[in-house]
Amino acid sequence: RKEVEQDPGPFNVPEGATVAFNCTYSNSASQSFFWYRQDCRKEPKLLMSVYSSGNEDGRFTAQLNRASQYISLLIRDSKLSDSATYLCVVNEGTGFQKLVFGTGTRLLVSP
């Protein structure tokens, strides 16, 4: 079983749509959680951290469910520029930060 699992997609949505991605993780001792974004042929970049209480950054909302060990990312009012691969990332480190990356969910937003 993979440590961090994501639906690879692609998710094809029209501009303006709302889209949600889920991710599950296997290590219940995981400390912190993140979403990274990776554009085609580019490096990953931190999109947002995920807090237990849920957090929002503009059109993006991230939520964590520790009991069920899943993390979600909601994108509202999708833009063409949101087309990218979204990586779910879990910090398994105790003491030292060790990130485990999911393989990513690809989003394609069309006009």
**Residue 71 found at the interface with other proteins (CB under 8 A):** no
Contacts of 94-98 with C-beta under 8 Å, sequence gap 24+, read 94/29, 94/31
Residue closer to other proteins, measured from CB, 74 or 93 = 93
Residues in contact with other proteins, shown as a per-residue x/- string from 91 to 110 under the rule CB under 8 A: x-x--xxxx-xxxx------
Closest CA to 29 of 60, 3, 51, 59: 3
Beta sheet of 55-57, edge-to-edge order: 4-6, 19-25, 70-75, 60-65, 55-57
**Interface pick for other proteins out of 87, 105, 106, 107 (rule CB under 8 A):** 87
Task: Give the dihedral sign, CA 104/9/21/85.
Answer: positive
CB 12 within 8 A of CB 108: yes
**Residue 111 found at the interface with other proteins (CB under 8 A):** no
Residues in contact with other proteins, shown as a per-residue x/- string from 2 to 41 under the rule CB under 8 A: ------------------------------x-x-------
**Interface pick for other proteins out of 7, 26, 44, 76 (rule CB under 8 A):** 44
Which residues sit at the interface with other proteins, rule CB under 8 A? 32, 34, 42-46, 49, 87, 89, 91, 93, 96-99, 101-104
